Amino acid sequence: MADMDALIAMALAAGFTHAAPLDVSTIDLKPEVREMCARNTCGQYGKKWSCPPGCGELEALRERVAQYKTGLLLQTVGQLEDDFDVETMMETEAAQKRNLIELQKVLLPLYPKALAIGSGCCTHCKTCTYPDAPCRFPEKQIASMEAYGMLVTEVCQANNMKYYYGPCTLAYTSCFLIE
């Protein structure tokens, strides 16, 4: 069984602002979240292995998530100068991705089957091979919580983690699933 206090300490040491236990049974993969992805507002739908449809059908992702018992919910919170502070938004997103990769380096030796699920699309490669060739680094690929069909606000609420930290803040949320 995972030592949750130790995992949270590792997450905070990796740079996350907040870390909390994640009860995998609270994760509900929703088709309507995947439909939001299909609207392609981020411009990545059908362009990366980590994004729909490349990341897999919802039923296959449900089966994958069901293999896990516990996890960690992780956030990096940025303080914006104003509602249009795009620079801090991008810096906070980049910090969240860096923090997740740093924590992955620490967790995988301890939990080799741990699954990182991030925020935003995978950025390990400058150009993704999708759909012409297999992923170059499938062991490093990180799909987003939304690509999995998770409504992030619900996952946070179900696991007693805030999602909104007040005016001029922005929270990026990711998770690790652990067997």
Rounded Cα distance, 50 and 90, in Å:
19
10-residue mean pLDDT series, the chain (179 residues): 92 98 98 94 93 96 96 98 96 97 96 96 93 94 96 98 96 96
Would you say 19 and 112 are in contact if contact means Cβ atoms under 8 Å apart? Answer: no
Instruction: Tell me the β-bridge partners of 70.
Output: 23, 178
**Alpha-carbon dihedral sign for residues 104, 76, 171, 164:** positive
**pLDDT on residue 2:** 78
The ranges assigned to domains in the chain are: 4-178
- Whether the CB-CB separation of 42 and 138 falls below 8 Å is answered with no
Angle at CA of residue 109, ends 107 and 110, nearest 5°? 65
Q: Side chain identity at 153, as an amino acid letter?
A: T
Answer for the pair 52, 58: CB distance below 8 angstroms, yes or no. Answer: no
Confidence (pTM): 0.95
Model confidence pLDDT, tens digit, residues 89-118: 999 999 999 999 999 999 999 999 999 999
pLDDT at 46: 94
